[in-house]
Structure 1
Amino acid sequence: MSSVEKAISMPGEALASDLAALCKASADPLRLQVLRVLREDSFGVSELCSIFDIRQPALSHHLKVLAGAGLVATRREGNAIFYRRAQLGQRPELEALQAALFESVDQIELPEQTQLALSELHVQREANSRNFFRDNAHKFRQQQDLIASYEQYAGTVAEVLRNAPLTHRGTALEVGPGDGSFLLELAPQFDRVVALDIEAMMLEQARQKTQAAGADNIEFIHGDTASDALEGLQADCAVINMVLHHTPAPGQILKDVAARLAPGGAVLVTDLCAHDQGWARENCGDLWLGFDPAQLTEWASDAGLTDLASAYLAQRNGFQVQVRLFGHPG
């Protein structure tokens, strides 16, 4: 008997109620479009209102229905509530039906106006983050130290990298190298290192630091993970340290990076676990208040990556850092 048949055959009012809620939630075109938009990102209510050009009371009703059916999950960031698609397995008896629904939803082609609004929101998010680092490049370390200083996690990241089961150590890519500190860890271990950053001032800081240290095998590229300058790159390892919570679409970043990996390569990600310290948005340029580890695993899986190793570091200020190693099938 299939899992779908088992779910339908299970007796009890609770299952009937859950099935009815799922069917009701999926019986509205707008709610299905909301699920499609939430495929790889999370949004606040006001952001979703702008995407769908709908008033907040009406949208809040639809979100309540989706949440009641277990199709969306919420997280609080400061005073705002953000919504994302629920992870599979929260209701095992309905998992197969939910998976089938999400698979069908992902085939929906959003209206042109919705796609345009979504693109504009991503552009605005990225501009906010880029402007922050442009205006605060001169005090990068002070801002970073407010949450988790490089020294607090660098040793663990370096150890995970040294123990990574890489097939080769020819080329490494670091996305968002900051002031270049970890580039000095990569340079001795790889024949070639590529440093990629969207902010020119930050990239120049990294260049000056690594050149002063005598590292001469590092190439600096001004651009993002979709840059044509990465065409043909086959990296044995990609490093993304404390970057994803500054990006509007972390799932897409992982997909872009995975596409630049050589067979048997790995992606090393360091980032914050989910937290509720909303001041980090204004003071540190954060777009996300960390990530649930399961969310990173899901994005990595969507990018064709598998979970290889994990480490978690508690910080004195209430933050927690996760160090994750994801592998590319060889």
Structure 2
Amino acid sequence: MLSATKTPGSANEPEQPDLASDLAAFCKASADPLRLQVLRVLREDSFGVSELCAIFNIRQPALSHHLKVLAGASLVATRREGNSIFYRRAELGQRPELETLQSALFESVDRIELPAGTEQSLDALHRQREQNSRNFFRDNADKFRQQQDLIASYEQYAGSVADVLRNARLARHGTALEVGPGDGSFLLELAPAFDQVVALDIEAAMLEQARARAGEAGLNNIEFVHGETGHPRLGELQADCVVINMVLHHTPNPGQVLKDVAGCLAPGGVVLVTDLCRHDQGWARENCGDLWLGFDPADLTRWALAAGLDDIASVYLAQRNGFQIQVRLFGHRQSLKETKHE
């Protein structure tokens, strides 16, 4: 009796990835100027379909086709936020055999100069996002602690953040910068540990809350600066420590914030970031002024690397309401190499 012979792709054998088909899909996806511009726009941010339509002045059916092609080639990833789908660039390594091509494509795409109209639309969208967040904090400054407690109260993560900072083994404790100090709770930790602390906040009402709290505690080594991380005062700083607690998910461009603070970091200094891990609880946008529904740890690592920073330590804290907090410590790449060499 003759035995049946299995052939590749038969019903008796699991289907294997088809490299030729995947390579063809990759080449097709990268062979359109508009799709390459979409990848350029998604370099450091994620956008919904309607936002991308506004940026490129294109109707949704046409853009959805292009996004489908990019997703089929694993060049973009999606996440659902409520009833909306947001797109971002895919992480490297999903298909190791195509990683070299994907990396080379992204590197080339990042050198693309977008048309002036597209740049203007992109800038307008970023400004609108930022204004929405600022309006929220302006209108809800007196409810800051109540709103924060909906996701993660300060008490739930403050101890771990303070422990990570104490274990950072800083060579100097001259100047600390806190971006977005909120009601000033963590300033009570920073001020006794550093000679000088700069508290920077884009919302004046929140800055006044922090100032009042510091005054009640008798702290007199804190300078309060109204502005964003592009403020000229940061250009004068050489900070031994920068703290960004639960702020990045309220900012339109987290990658730029990390670049700005890395630029004022002293040799051997650290950037301490506390923020939410990615989640799907879309109500946080309206109720808490969130622009981002948290971040994949890889997102923060990627933005940090682009800012010239490397990972030093990470702590993850689960919350009872389904959220997870990541506490990340970053340092200048050159400083880390020098430390290891010594």
Larger CA Rg, structure 1 vs 2? 2
- Whole-angstrom distance in 2 between the partners of 1:318 and 1:274: 11
Q: 1:177-188 counterparts in 2 under 5 A?
A: 177-188=181-192
- Whole-angstrom distance in 2 between the partners of 1:306 and 1:250: 16
Q: 1:128-207 counterparts in 2 under 5 A?
A: 128-207=132-211
AA aligned opposite 2:297: P
Consecutive unaligned residues in structure 2, runs of 5 or more: 1-15, 336-342
1:16 aligned onto 2:20: yes
Query: CA shift at 1:13, angstroms?
Result: 6.9
- Whole-angstrom distance in 2 between the partners of 1:215 and 1:66: 53
Query: CA shift at 1:151, angstroms?
Result: 0.2
AA aligned opposite 1:203: L
- Number of the residue aligned with 2:305: 301
- Which stretches of structure 1, 4 residues or more, deviate above 3 A after TM superposition? none
Residues 29-53 of structure 1 show CA distances to partners (whole Å, capped at 9, x for unaligned) of: 0000000000011101000000000
Pick the aligned partner of 2:83 from 79, 83, 87. 79
- Whole-angstrom distance in 1 between the partners of 2:17 and 2:216: 70
1:248 aligned onto 2:243: no
- Whole-angstrom distance in 1 between the partners of 2:236 and 2:141: 30
AA aligned opposite 2:288: C
- Number of the residue aligned with 2:106: 102
- Number of the residue aligned with 2:9: none
Partner SS state of residue 82, structure 1: strand
Calculate percent identity across the aligned residue pairs: 80
Query: CA shift at 1:231, angstroms?
Result: 1.9
Partner SS state of residue 299, structure 1: helix
- Number of the residue aligned with 2:287: 283
What is the root-mean-square deviation of aligned Cα atoms in Å?
0.9
Partner SS state of residue 288, structure 1: coil
Work out the number of aligned pairs and report it. Answer: 319
1:62 aligned onto 2:70: no
- Whole-angstrom distance in 2 between the partners of 1:315 and 1:327: 27
- Number of the residue aligned with 1:9: none
Query: CA shift at 1:167, angstroms?
Result: 2.5
Partner SS state of residue 188, structure 1: helix
User: Please, what TM-score do these two structures have when normalized by structure 1?
Assistant: 0.95
- Whole-angstrom distance in 2 between the partners of 1:235 and 1:77: 36
- Higher RCO by CA contacts (8 Å cutoff, separation 6 or greater): 1
Residues 33-74 of structure 1 show CA distances to partners (whole Å, capped at 9, x for unaligned) of: 000000011101000000000001110110110011111111
